[in-house]
Amino acid sequence: MLSYRHSFHAGNHADVLKHTVQSLIITALNEKDKPYLYLDTHAGAGRYQLSGEHAERTGEYLEGIARIWQQDDLPEELESYISCVQALNKNGKLRFYPGSPLIARHLLRPFDKLNMTELHPSDYPMLRNEFQKDDRARTERADGFQQLKSKLPPLSRRGLVLIDPPYEMKTDYQAVVQGLVEGYKRFGTGVFALWYPVVLRQQIKRITKELEASGIRRILQIELGVRPDSDRFGMTASGMIVINPPWKLEQQMNNVLPWLLKHLVPSGTGHTKVSWIVPE
């Protein structure tokens, strides 16, 4: 089943959280001269047209990136992320939103490598076209979870693995844990970043319990909610689970989340969280 299209959701509050964390991890990896691999298992199309039919129909970006990208008091933790958005919208109008592959492309250095997989028959060609002229990058129409076995560890022995499935199949909630365990077994020094939606809180509690029992250490959970948990249909919050986070990430997220909450959820119904599922 491949009915999910990220173009309906690009630039929403969940993307803002995910891409903030992604860009902070990349910036931290860039502090060392050594090359690394960026592995994006569920890459999407790469670029999204916000004036397009899909994004206009839901208008989700209006309550996400549109609320923050031109604020005067932007916290420094958001600078690298917002620089990627600005690079696609040079005339000051918000027309395009960069997906995780374009954020990585903008922030990685000439000697780093990108490896991205996407399965959707419409999104994959767009992703491939974006990277046709980038020597650092390889795109494949392949199963993302499989990459956690076949692409790890990278030759460089450094890297960020972003796992961002659509969760349209309930099995994704188990597959992400299995995938993390498989990936970590092969590449225990890598940074792994898993995105999750809070639709039913119980599903996320199960993920965190399974990770707690996995024996993996240094697992940080970061969350931004826009509404209280509910058992009705729809996403009320989203989060990132990061294994081996860069040492500054916890503090950086503690600094920036109150600002994001204020701007993204002015109604005051939201919440934030930064806590260890498993510490050192």
Just list the catalytic residues. 164
Q: Tell me the closest approach of the beta carbon of residue 84 to ligand SAM, in angstroms.
A: 11
Q: Is 60 in the site for ligand SAM (CB under 6 A)?
A: no
* CA–CA gap between residue 194 and residue 192 (Å, rounded): 7
Q: Binders of ligand SAM among 145-164, rule CB under 6 A? A: 145, 164
Interacting stretch for ligand SAM, rule CB under 6 A, among 58-66, 67-75, 141-149, 205-213?
141-149
Instruction: Single out the residue of 123, 130, 140, 223 in contact with ligand SAM (rule: CB under 6 A).
Output: 123
Q: Tell me the closest approach of the beta carbon of residue 270 to ligand SAM, in angstroms.
A: 21
Binding residue numbers for S-adenosyl-L-methionine: 19, 42, 100, 118, 143-144, 164
CB atoms within 10 A of CB 193: 23
Q: Is 144 in the site for ligand SAM (CB under 6 A)?
A: yes
Give the total of residues touching ligand SAM (CB under 6 A). Answer: 20
Q: Is 140 in the site for ligand SAM (CB under 6 A)?
A: no
Interacting stretch for ligand SAM, rule CB under 6 A, among 119-127, 184-192, 202-210, 229-237?
119-127
Q: Tell me the closest approach of the beta carbon of residue 27 to ligand SAM, in angstroms.
A: 17
Q: Tell me the closest approach of the beta carbon of residue 134 to ligand SAM, in angstroms.
A: 16
> Of 212 and 264, which CB lies nearer to ligand SAM in the complex structure?
264
Q: Binders of ligand SAM among 30-59, rule CB under 6 A? A: 42-44
Binding site for ligand SAM (CB under 6 A): 2, 4, 6, 18, 42-44, 99-100, 117-120, 123, 143-145, 164-166
